[in-house]
């Protein structure tokens, strides 16, 4: 029998953005950030920003938050090469010709 590892069960590598689904899992299942995710959040202003906003809203809605988001990095100081947060890039220009 082959056991497949799904994306959700694999901790996020440092070079990859946190998926919005991961944020939801953190809140709903009262999980903590992995070391890799914390490292990513220390370097990626984009993920840090949306997770901070998401966490604030979740906390206001009454969800207990088990994780601590590291301080937001200064934008533009350090770039993290990573794939887009919301799915693979689409090439609309190609289909228009």
Residue count, binding to Zn ion (CB under 5 A): 3
CB of 50 or CB of 63, closer to Zn ion: 50
Give the whole-angstrom CA distance, residue 24 versus residue 35. 18
Stretch of 2-10, 21-29, 42-50, 52-60 contacting Zn ion, by CB under 5 A: 42-50
The two structure tokens encoding residue 97: 């010709």
Site residues for Zn ion, window 43-62 (CB under 5 A)?
44, 47
Taking the alpha carbons at both ends of the chain, their separation in whole angstroms is 47
CA 38 to chain centre: 10
Residues contributing to the site for Zn ion (CB under 5 A): 17, 44, 47
């Amino acid at each position: 029998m082959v056991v497949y590892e799904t994306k959700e069960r694999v901790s996020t590598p440092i070079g990859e953005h946190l998926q919005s689904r991961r944020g939801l899992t953190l809140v709903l299942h009262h999980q903590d950030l992995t070391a890799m995710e914390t490292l990513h959040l220390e370097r990626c202003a984009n993920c840090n920003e949306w997770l901070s906003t998401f966490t604030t809203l979740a906390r206001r809605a009454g969800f207990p938050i088990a994780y601590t988001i590291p301080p937001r990095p200064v934008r533009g100081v350090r770039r993290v090469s990573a794939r887009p947060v919301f799915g693979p890039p689409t090439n609309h220009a190609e289909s228009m010709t």
